[in-house]
Amino acid sequence: MNEIKTLTLDTVKRLVDSKIPEGKLIDYKESLSVFTSDEKKEFLADVSSFANAEGGNLIYGVKEVDGIPTDICGFKVDSIDAEILKLENLIRDCTDPRVQGTLINYITLDNGQFVLVIYIPKSFNPPHVVKIGNHWKFYSRNSKGKYQLDVSELKSIISLSSNVQERIRDFRLERISRIKNRDLQIPISDEPKFIYHIVPLVSSTSNTVVDLAKFERANFKYELFYNLPKIYNYEGILIHNHQEGYNADLYVQIFRSGAIEVYASYLHNRDKQLVPRNSFEKELIEQIPNYISVIKYFELTMPLVIFLTVLDIKGYKIGLYEYENMREMYNRPFTLNDLLLPEVYIDDAALTNLPLALKPLFDPIWNAAGHPQSPNFNTSGEWTVKG
């Protein structure tokens, strides 16, 4: 069973009518209460057990007998919005590392009571511990439900988590190798190029394959991709501005996994061998939300990992404003040809101040050009570039 994104009464009725049993991927609860310490521990144990296993759905407001759903009873609560906020705060504050990517949906029954579903994705960075006071325990799930992890199982999960992160990094390195070797479907420039990869972590913990045909039905595609031509290829969809006789200076590769690769070689001044001071920051800060909308359109959840790579930059300098005399003292040409910046992780909370979340990608580029950090942030962490 996948996540329930659009919850309807028919969705729940099908589970009950089909007698879909609870187990590794589903857990039914007749009522919802997280008032006492024990109730909070129980709720968090359920959430973390799904995250530490294969992911799944917690369904509140459904009676079960011996694990088989028997009735849609609903549960009563004064304010469903306040209850959801309480659940979200518990997950945020009492799991470590914080369980991310949860989706909460509810419906109101004719009797005024509620059915609520929490989808918990398989985690990319398990194991998650439940921590309330002196309570500090790890849980997972099997076909019989949740259970407490022992030491050997913890070691195994930690090893698998490391493998996921290595797999994501290997994907980035393999793609960069193909770009450097021009092993691509279209010709690209020898000029400096900025490449960023946006990888949904949920696609790295499962064999996710997105429905590429949905892209044809997307209303945003022409505005986002400037009505550029596209090619369906083995990897997925390639959108580009290549024309006969010219190298492409922009392409977007959407992979079957939902990952996105963006190549841009227009963010520099070739004649003066300069990279305008705001160009690469502005590109990411303005475009990342657009590509996140594509990923969410394919029904993939946060969080994401974002990589920025700069190729063929040696000898170029960052172009400063004329009045930046003090910064010009530090400004020097890039001495490295390629810069592979460390990844950053982006969740929904990070989107409230995306420039600050991306700053760890920007500072090393400025460092490589002789500067202590990006000058485009004030002391409050606000990105100060306008227009």
- 157 is a domain residue: no
Give a yes or no: residue 374 inside a domain: no
Could you tell me the two tokens for 347? 């969740």
The rounded percent of the chain whose pLDDT value lies above 70 is: 94
Tell me the one-letter amino acid at 369.
A
Identify the band that residue 324 occupies on the pLDDT scale cut at 50, 70 and 90. Answer: low
Instruction: Tell me what the pLDDT averaged over the chain comes to.
Output: 90
Q: Are residues 188 and 310 in the same domain?
A: yes
Band of pLDDT at residue 325, cut at 50, 70 and 90: low
CA geometry: angle 39, 107, 350, nearest 5 deg? 70
Query: Residue 326: what pLDDT?
Result: 63
Looking at the fold, whether 216 and 364 belong to one and the same domain comes out as yes
Q: Which residues of 325-362 are buried (b: 16+ CB within 10 A; e: fewer)?
A: eebeeebeebeeeebbbebbebeeebeeebbebbbebb
Q: Is residue 120 part of a domain?
A: yes
Residue 287 in domain: yes
Contact 60, 116 (CB under 8 A): yes
Output the pLDDT for position 201.
81
Q: Taking a C-beta distance cutoff of 8 angstroms, is the pair 12, 59 a contact?
A: yes
Q: Please check whether residues 38 and 64 belong to one and the same domain.
A: yes
Those residues whose C-beta lies under 8 Å from the C-beta of residue 197, and which sit 6 or more positions away, are 171, 172, 175, 259, 260, 261, 262, 306, 307, 309
Coil vs helix vs strand at 130: strand
Answer yes or no: do 43 and 113 share one domain. Answer: yes
Instruction: Give the CA radius of gyration of the chain.
Output: 24
The answer to whether residue 116 scores a pLDDT higher than 60 is yes
Please indicate, yes or no, whether residues 199 and 342 belong to a single structural domain of this protein.
yes
352 and 286 in a common domain: yes
**208 confidence band (pLDDT: 50, 70, 90):** confident
Beta-bridge partner residues of 147:
140
Backbone angles phi, psi at 89, to 5 degrees: -65, -40
Domain co-membership, 30 together with 83? yes
Residue 302: per-residue pLDDT = 80
Q: Does residue 276 share a domain with residue 343?
A: yes
If asked whether residues 311 and 182 sit together in one domain, one would say yes
Domain containing 25: what range?
9-149
pTM for the whole thing? Answer: 0.72
**pLDDT for residue 222 is more than 60:** no
Does some domain include residue 2? no
**Inside any domain, residue 4:** no
CATH code of the domain covering residue 19: 3.30.950.30
Whether 144 maps to a domain, the answer reads: yes
* 268 and 123 both lie in a single domain: no
Fill in the DSSP letter of residue 299: T
Tokens found for residue 285:
């800060």
Answer with the one of 117, 149, 181 that is the final residue of a domain: 149
User: Could you tell me if residue 90 is inside a domain?
Assistant: yes
Verify that 252 and 360 share a domain, yes or no: yes
Question: In this predicted structure, what is the pLDDT of residue 221?
Answer: 61
pLDDT at 1 over 70: no
Statement: residue 205 has pLDDT above 70: no
Confidence of residue 366 (pLDDT cuts 50, 70, 90): very high
Task: Give yes or no: residues 212 and 349 share one domain.
Answer: yes
- pLDDT tens across 53-90, in order? 999 999 999 999 999 999 999 999 999 999 999 999 99
pLDDT of residue 185: 94
Q: Which residue has the higher pLDDT, 300 or 324?
A: 300
Structural domain count of the chain: 2
213 pLDDT exceeds 60? yes
Tell me what the mean pLDDT of segment 286-291 comes to: 92
